[in-house]
């Protein structure tokens, strides 16, 4: 039996969101071997030949020369001899499953495309609770198109058949699974392609909603966050620190520091010093999970979460344990400046082993941070607030701050993190008016 | 890969400094090497060379960025090629180190843009040795010192016919000689970027480095970034 396979634009680069068809190397009617280039695509300063994922005959070009399409878009159809197609055993299996689930009536020979539904068609069918097996396909090889579904809905057929819903859902999940593994040919990343969302007919209606294009950086943030939350079992703990003496120390030194160095002496610099010294005592905090082992990093490279108007980046202070408070203050100032000016280089962003986020800078007193994958933990430094505190059974007004820690519970447990936080607290509270910056 | 030889865990690289080579010849040489590497008859290769005055226009072409007519080009002795790399128009000429890395990149974990960033990193690292802080502009591939471009990058990924991965061709053009901007870049809007200019290593440092010396110095940085071990630079 003959089947049609879509060739899609693969995720050829992590930052790749779309590509332009530069030229077609194959035309409808041409035979294509597996892995043979079908077209050249263009992205940024790269020309790349795009290989076919299957062997077969080119049937149709879906995206013309010069057009730019998102990653994951089908760009051409290739007709393959069924069965012999080893590249896509999962797809074949899943379609069979879909057929059995729905009691698919047609013989495959008559209508090779009847078991295959495009995501747009599936979505449309789901919106209208349409059972796709009852729709007559007019597309290529009996394939059901959006038009067919709409015509079916308009005809009023199947309206009464609400019991079909469950079967449709089952069939659809099977087909979804097939769509997910629809081979890009190059399994370049493990990241599943984002589902394409049809907004047509839903967007309008004058509800005042608007759409924001997802920028590459937003996309990267989204993927990293999702990967962290889905892979790392997060746990959370918090400690409060009395920073009264630190406040006095900083107030004493900051003007002179500004005069001498030209930069702000921030609390964050003192916190980093306290954290780095604590990591030295608890090296397991500076580690990452590697399935069959835990890698404890030798260098202490602190990722600093720096927010901009519409993103958050984590530039790295390398070998933070080799720097004193003044050195850390300079690094913080420089990285923050480079971040705001968009001048960070790749090497500024690489090699982080532990992340610190100065959430207090925007007034937070408590946060639940997501670990900067693949690190083991992330610590936030919350706002310094004057509060009544009981000391020696007397009330005192002290400057207090919370430190929050999210941890990878595969690597770390409460006891070790408790001790680590206690050490950070001790380090911070031991700053006094005699402490040196250099 | 069958033929790849390793030394200390690093893949071997055939690195050559060729000197001055006509653009057309170099293009044919690249294509021949790509085929040989595909058939595993040749080690992965880095060609380092200079071109006579030439303009090349990549796939992302905007004819309006070439400011000279055909007659003017002929008068100035500048050749013009339309080629199969990514990018818009650029100038090649004496005093510029051109590098064509012809590498086999496996499909697994392949990242086209990461390859570009690595090419940039090689040049950034080398310039760093001279205390020059070079960097990237997020919008524009290439290596920049401030708002001046010192190296242009444009590459092609050729699908290997016998293996899953890709073989790279084209590469980078790094300006060494002082005053190169006046030589050739004045006739075009390089890469279609109108608001920024072009610079060179000797302009920045006041040194008199030759292209060949630059090639020798750049090679270790290439080896380090891409994790290859080159045989001695064949000249």
Q: Of B107, B111, B135, which has the smallest distance from its Cβ to A13's Cβ?
A: B111
Predicted local confidence at residue A139, as pLDDT = 64
Q: Would you place residue A107 in the very low, low, confident or very high pLDDT band (cuts 50, 70, 90)?
A: very low
CA distance A35 to chain B (A): 7
* Three-state DSSP class for residue A305: strand
Q: Of A15, A40, A347, which has the smallest distance from its Cβ to B113's Cβ?
A: A15
CATH 4.10.320.10 fits A89-181, yes or no: yes
Predicted local confidence at residue A105, as pLDDT = 38
End-to-end CA distance of chain B: 27
The CATH number of A1-88 is: 2.40.50.100
Predicted local confidence at residue A116, as pLDDT = 60
Interface predicted TM-score (ipTM) = 0.73
As assigned by CATH, the class of the A220-429 domain is: alpha beta
Q: Would you place residue B6 in the very low, low, confident or very high pLDDT band (cuts 50, 70, 90)?
A: low
Residues 6+ apart with CB under 8 A from A105: A133
Does position A150 have pLDDT exceeding 80, yes or no?
no
Predicted local confidence at residue A101, as pLDDT = 35
Does position A430 have pLDDT exceeding 90, yes or no?
yes
Q: Would you place residue B174 in the very low, low, confident or very high pLDDT band (cuts 50, 70, 90)?
A: very high
Mean pLDDT of B202-215: 92
Q: Give the model confidence (pLDDT) of A60-71 as tens digits.
A: 999 988 888 888
Predicted local confidence at residue B188, as pLDDT = 67
Predicted local confidence at residue A94, as pLDDT = 36
Among the listed residues A68, A22, A24, the one whose alpha carbon sits nearest the alpha carbon of residue A46: A22
b/e string for A294-320 if b means 16 or more Cβ within 10 A?
eeebeebbbbbbbbeeeeebbbbbbeb
CA distance B92 to chain A (A): 17
Q: Which residue has the higher pLDDT, B202 or A209?
A: B202
Does position A257 have pLDDT exceeding 90, yes or no?
yes
Q: Would you place residue A90 in the very low, low, confident or very high pLDDT band (cuts 50, 70, 90)?
A: very low
| A positions 336-375 inside 8 Å of B (CB) | 342-343, 345-347
Lowest mean pLDDT among A366-370, A419-423, B3-7: B3-7
Structure tokens at A272: 């980093």
- Does A36 touch chain B if contact means CB atoms closer than 8 Å? yes
Parse chain B into domains and list their residue ranges.
Answer: 11-226
Structure tokens at A205: 């209606």
Does position A87 have pLDDT exceeding 70, yes or no?
no
Contact B107 A188 (CB under 8 A): yes
Q: Give the model confidence (pLDDT) of A128-148 as tens digits.
A: 667 776 777 766 656 677 777
Nearest-angstrom CA–CA distance, A240 and A251: 21
Contact A35 B159 (CB under 8 A): yes
Q: Give the model confidence (pLDDT) of A302-333 as tens digits.
A: 999 988 888 888 999 999 999 999 999 999 99
Nearest-angstrom CA–CA distance, B21 and B94: 10
Mean pLDDT of A97-107: 37
Mean pLDDT of A3-22: 83
Does position A115 have pLDDT exceeding 70, yes or no?
no
Q: Of B112, B121, B135, which has the smallest distance from its Cβ to A16's Cβ?
A: B112
| Alpha-carbon distances of B232 from A200, B17, B160, B210, rounded to whole Å | 60, 10, 27, 19
Structure tokens at A341: 């000016």
Does position A366 have pLDDT exceeding 60, yes or no?
yes
Predicted local confidence at residue B80, as pLDDT = 84
Contacts of A187 in chain B (CB under 8 A): 107-108
Contacts of A14 in chain B (CB under 8 A): 111, 113-114
Mean pLDDT of A259-266: 91
Q: Give the model confidence (pLDDT) of A188-207 as tens digits.
A: 333 344 444 455 554 444 56
- Most trustworthy range by pLDDT among A35-49, A86-100, A103-117, A159-173: A35-49
Q: Of B59, B117, B121, which has the smallest distance from its Cβ to A42's Cβ?
A: B59
Structure tokens at A409: 């519970």
Does position A186 have pLDDT exceeding 50, yes or no?
no
Chain centre distance of CA A109:
42
Does position B59 have pLDDT exceeding 60, yes or no?
yes
Predicted local confidence at residue A180, as pLDDT = 34
Contacts of B160 in chain A (CB under 8 A): 35
Q: Which residue has the higher pLDDT, B233 or A371?
A: A371
DSSP string, B180-202: HHHHTGGGB-GGG--S-EE--HH
Mean pLDDT of A170-177: 40
As assigned by CATH, the class of the B11-226 domain is: alpha beta
- Most trustworthy range by pLDDT among A208-212, B44-48, B65-69: B44-48
Predicted local confidence at residue B213, as pLDDT = 94
- Does A60 touch chain B if contact means CB atoms closer than 8 Å? no
Nearest-angstrom CA–CA distance, A209 and A386: 42
Among the listed residues A352, A351, A358, the one whose alpha carbon sits nearest the alpha carbon of residue A381: A358
CA distance A158 to chain B (A): 46
CA distance B33 to chain A (A): 17
Contact A49 B60 (CB under 8 A): no
* Three-state DSSP class for residue A321: helix
Chain centre distance of CA A33:
34
């Amino acid at each position: 039996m003959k089947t049609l396979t879509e060739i899609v634009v693969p995720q050829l680069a992590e930052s790749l969101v779309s590509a332009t068809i530069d030229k077609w190397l194959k035309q409808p009617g041409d035979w294509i071997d597996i892995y043979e280039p079908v077209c050249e695509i263009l992205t940024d300063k790269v020309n790349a030949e795009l290989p076919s994922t299957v062997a077969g005959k080119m049937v149709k070009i879906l995206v013309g020369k010069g057009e730019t399409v998102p990653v994951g878009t089908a760009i051409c159809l290739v007709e393959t001899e069924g069965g012999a197609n080893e590249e896509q055993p999962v797809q074949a299996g899943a379609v069979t499953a879909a057929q059995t689930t729905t009691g698919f009536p047609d013989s495959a020979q008559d209508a090779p495309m009847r078991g295959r539904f495009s995501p747009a068609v599936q979505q449309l069918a789901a919106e209208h609770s349409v059972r796709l097996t009852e729709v007559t396909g007019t597309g290529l090889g009996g394939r059901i198109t959006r038009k067919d579904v709409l015509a079916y809905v308009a005809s009023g057929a199947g309206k009464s058949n609400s019991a079909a819903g469950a079967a449709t859902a089952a069939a659809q999940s099977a087909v979804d699974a097939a769509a997910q593994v629809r081979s890009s040919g190059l399994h370049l990343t493990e990241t599943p392609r984002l589902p394409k969302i049809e907004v047509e007919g839903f967007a309008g209606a004058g509800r005042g909603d608007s759409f924001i294009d997802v920028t590459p950086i937003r996309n990267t943030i989204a993927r990293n966050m999702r990967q962290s939350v889905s892979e790392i079992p997060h746990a959370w703990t918090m400690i409060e620190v009395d920073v009264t003496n630190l406040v006095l120390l900083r107030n004493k030194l900051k003007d002179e520091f500004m005069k001498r160095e030209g930069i702000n002496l921030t609390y964050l610099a003192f916190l980093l010093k306290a954290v780095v010294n604590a990591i030295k005592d608890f090296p397991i905090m500076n580690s990452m999970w590697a399935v069959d082992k835990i890698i404890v990093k030798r260098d202490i490279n602190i990722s600093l979460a720096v927010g901009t108007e519409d993103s958050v980046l984590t530039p790295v202070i390398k070998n933070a344990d080799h720097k004193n408070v003044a050195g850390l203050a300079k690094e913080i100032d420089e990285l923050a400046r480079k971040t705001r000016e968009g001048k960070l280089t790749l090497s500024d962003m690489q090699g982080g082993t532990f992340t610190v986020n100065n959430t207090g800078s925007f007034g937070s007193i408590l946060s639940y941070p997501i670990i900067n994958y693949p690190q083991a933990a992330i610590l936030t430094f919350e706002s310094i607030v004057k509060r009544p505190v009981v000391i020696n059974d007397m009330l005192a007004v002290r400057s207090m701050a919370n430190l929050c820690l999210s941890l990878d519970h595969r690597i770390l447990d409460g006891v070790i993190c408790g001790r680590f936080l206690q050490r950070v607290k001790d380090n911070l509270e031991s700053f006094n008016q005699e402490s040196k910056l250099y | 890969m069958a033929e790849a030889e390793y030394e200390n865990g690093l893949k071997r690289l055939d690195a050559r400094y060729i000197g001055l080579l006509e653009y057309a010849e170099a293009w044919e040489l690249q294509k021949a090497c790509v085929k040989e590497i595909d058939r595993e008859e040749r080690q992965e290769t880095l060609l380092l060379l200079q071109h006579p005055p030439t303009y090349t226009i990549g796939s992302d072409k905007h004819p309006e960025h070439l400011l000279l007519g055909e007659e003017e080009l002929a008068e100035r002795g500048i050749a013009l090629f339309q080629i199969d790399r990514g990018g818009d128009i650029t100038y090649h000429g004496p005093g510029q180190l051109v590098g064509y890395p012809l590498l086999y990149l496996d499909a697994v974990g392949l990242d086209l843009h990461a390859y570009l960033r690595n090419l940039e990193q090689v040049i950034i690292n080398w310039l760093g040795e001279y205390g020059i802080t070079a960097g990237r502009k997020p919008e524009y591939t290439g290596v920049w010192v401030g708002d001046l471009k010192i190296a242009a990058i444009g590459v092609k990924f050729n699908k290997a016919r016998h293996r899953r991965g890709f073989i790279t061709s084209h590469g980078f053009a790094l300006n060494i000689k002082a005053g190169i901007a006046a030589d050739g870049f004045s006739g075009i809007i390089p890469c279609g970027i109108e608001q920024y200019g072009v610079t060179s290593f000797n302009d920045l440092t006041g040194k008199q480095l030759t292209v060949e010396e630059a090639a020798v110095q750049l090679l270790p940085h290439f080896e380090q970034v891409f994790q290859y071990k080159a045989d001695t630079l064949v000249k």
